[in-house]
A and B are shown apart, each in its own frame.
Chain A
């Protein structure tokens, strides 16, 4: 009997079904992949924005801390602090300065140089 659309054989043909399934899988997979990728990009974008905000916040905090440090380095602030803590520090008074005159011929006397050389060159006694 001739096979046509109305009179088909009873056997199951897997090929077209597999092809159709693969096509569906491909299309579905592509769609899901696209959505997943888009979601990932969006997620990374959000993360990036959050990290940028965090960085800006940290930089701002750093700037404030640097500013506090700058304030503490000011002469007036240091002097007030020294006064508040009653620290015995300040510019030295002329009476506290000891003036030591340097020897004219250099800082090491010849005798001492000779001593040093002698000890360096001395051979150990056997």
Chain B
């Protein structure tokens, strides 16, 4: 038998394929090959699994959680500002911020702009421009490596603070926007495919305009008490920027809540997987001592008079002297907090607390009260008023009275508003004692009314150099000060300080702390805190205050400077002032602060009203610029309305025809 020939140049590897093929049956070989293939595929899958789960696990987990997690911020509603009777002066209503995704509005940008522009009240062309897709380069870090990417504008904020009814109009209008897919394409697709396609493009259309929760701060009274209430910014929390809105921002703002849950592929929340749900806590509300009706009467009367006088501005205050409660406080011109215009910034603050002015004759009340209280003069003491011109200590420029007077009692000095008389009383007191009383009345210090930017006023001690918080340094009184300050020149006070000083007299000598915030309540109306009625100090003895009240009836009586402040059924006490405004290092002859500060009923003062007119048109002939003519009529008008509204018991009862007829009918 011949052996198979083996060529030496054809080596056969030991255990090679030929051996394997020869050693296993074909079926087994196939099974092994397929198994090996499957094992290799499995190994690949396991490798990929290890890569995804272990190597990239953390990173992918973060991405997955980010994609599936829904974090929704719950916006707190800002608290209200309410008047003493429950009328809302500032409140918040739910709204939305409207944004667009231009990438989902491709090809329908102009149509969308045409639909939305009239609803959002914006220019159509400008809106269409904003809906354009823009692409800009950006960077993203991937494993610590910066990569350049292209960013599109998928979120374009169209408008903030859109009311809910307008948002409904937006959604209704967007529902009419044609889908990006053509009718032919839809017609070519059948059944489930068409439905899916329609759903997809519907969803894209819906998502092209989005909304996020927001709130609108509204002021139902429009300009009413605007400078007290202030205004808010445009952010979603409506943070306060002016007035009480700014001062009590933390209290009003509330606390945001949040909700953490999971979302599905349609970005809808899967509420069963909600992990955290914390409700927002609405802000607390401020209840003011302000009464909207009194405020309205005051502002209306002031606006009419300001127009009549052609004045530059006007300030007014209505308060309860016994408690210090401020019922109304206004300065004109004012602004609309919901619609701030560029020129409004001059009127943002309440001038009653921020402005300081030389009070003029109204300050004589303080001078006379101090001298009486110190026992240096009596009401019936006679003082020679130099027939209208007094060269104080031989000075070249004399102190003058508008009407020359000879001998006047202290009572008459107030009634006739004699500058020389007040100057002589001041001289009698001396600077230090005078200044002690001025400070006791609260001048030169803040009243701590919770309003931003309250001024200190400018009161300087006579006996030393004065350093003020503003950094200003003023030396002690000069030779003329002791005669000048008693008549309200050379001293600066805020209208509020002046009103509080007169209120102290009306309150039988006790200076009160002004109250503007009555209480703070939570969203459910539960009281959290209350501002107490707080006396500051006794400034005058009660009998001095009573005497001054009696003498303050003089200006309103016949022959006085403020006869126009008279009220029919109430005795009025008060003082006029016509202070020249400082100008070019001296005093203007045609620019004045004309004022009247008074209270009623004089027998038991319930209401104090201060009216200050800034630069009424100078009237050389009729003297209509003077306090008695410019401010006193507003006092009477506001006083009558307020007395009726507050139902204040009259102290002058006249038997009118109606009363007489009833009394006559009732007589047997």
Contact = CB atoms under 8 A, between A and B. Distances in A.
Contact of A94 (B87, B164, B568): B568
A48 B95 CA distance: 23
Interface stretch (B25-33, B143-151, B219-227, B528-536): B219-227
Interface in A34-83: 41-42, 44-46, 48-49, 52, 59-61, 63-64, 66-67, 70-71, 73-76, 79
A75 to B, nearest CB: 4
A48 B259 CA distance: 14
B328 to A, nearest CB: 11
Contact of A67 (B218, B292, B296, B641): B218
A98 B660 CA distance: 9
Contact of B87 (A61, A74, A98): A74
A50 B77 CA distance: 22
Given A70-B220, A76-B222, A91 B659 contact: no
Contacts of B657: 95
Contacts of B163: 64
Given A60-B94, A63-B93, A95-B658, A74 B269 contact: no
Interface stretch (B128-136, B431-439, B573-581, B648-656): B648-656
B395 interface: no
B293 A45 contact: no
Nearest to B164: A60
A79 B569 CA distance: 25
B91 A67 contact: yes
Given A67-B218, A91-B641, A45 B93 contact: no
Contacts of A41: 272
Contacts of B272: 41-42, 44-45
B269 A49 contact: yes
A16 B165 CA distance: 69
A120 interface: no
A66 B516 CA distance: 25
Contacts of B644: 91-92
A45 to B, nearest CB: 4
B569 A75 contact: no
Contact of B224 (A45, A61, A76): A76
Interface string A83-125: 0000000011011111111000000000000000000000000
A70 B91 contact: yes
A44 B274 CA distance: 13
B461 interface: no
Contacts of A52: 271
Interface residues of B, number: 38
Contacts of A45: 270-272
A67 B640 contact: no
A71 B220 contact: yes
Main secondary structure of the interface of B (DSSP, over half): mixed
A36 to B, nearest CB: 15
A70 B165 contact: no
Given A49-B269, A74-B224, A76-B224, A99 B93 contact: no
Nearest to B95: A60
B642 to A, nearest CB: 10
A70 B88 contact: yes
A66 B218 CA distance: 12
B221 A64 contact: no
B270 A95 contact: no
Contacts of B270: 42, 45
Nearest to B294: A75
Nearest to B213: A56
B303 to A, nearest CB: 12
B434 to A, nearest CB: 41
B665 to A, nearest CB: 12
A90 B268 CA distance: 56
A97 B662 contact: no
A75 B220 contact: no
B20 interface: no
Given A64-B93, A64-B164, A99-B650, A75 B221 contact: yes
A75 B296 contact: yes
Interface in B609-668: 640-641, 644-645, 650, 653-659, 662
B271 A48 contact: yes
Contacts of A95: 656-658
Contacts of B656: 94-95, 97-98
B147 to A, nearest CB: 38
Contacts of B568: 94
A29 to B, nearest CB: 23
A45 B163 CA distance: 29
B645 A75 contact: no
11 contacts: A44-B272, A46-B271, A60-B94, A64-B164, A67-B220, A74-B87, A94-B568, A94-B640, A95-B658, A100-B659, A101-B653
Given A64-B163, A64-B164, A99-B654, 11 more contacts: A45-B271, A59-B94, A60-B164, A73-B88, A75-B295, A76-B221, A91-B645, A92-B644, A94-B656, A98-B656, A99-B653
The 9 closest A-B pairs by CB, nearest first: A75-B296, A45-B272, A45-B271, A94-B568, A70-B88, A99-B653, A60-B94, A91-B644, A70-B220
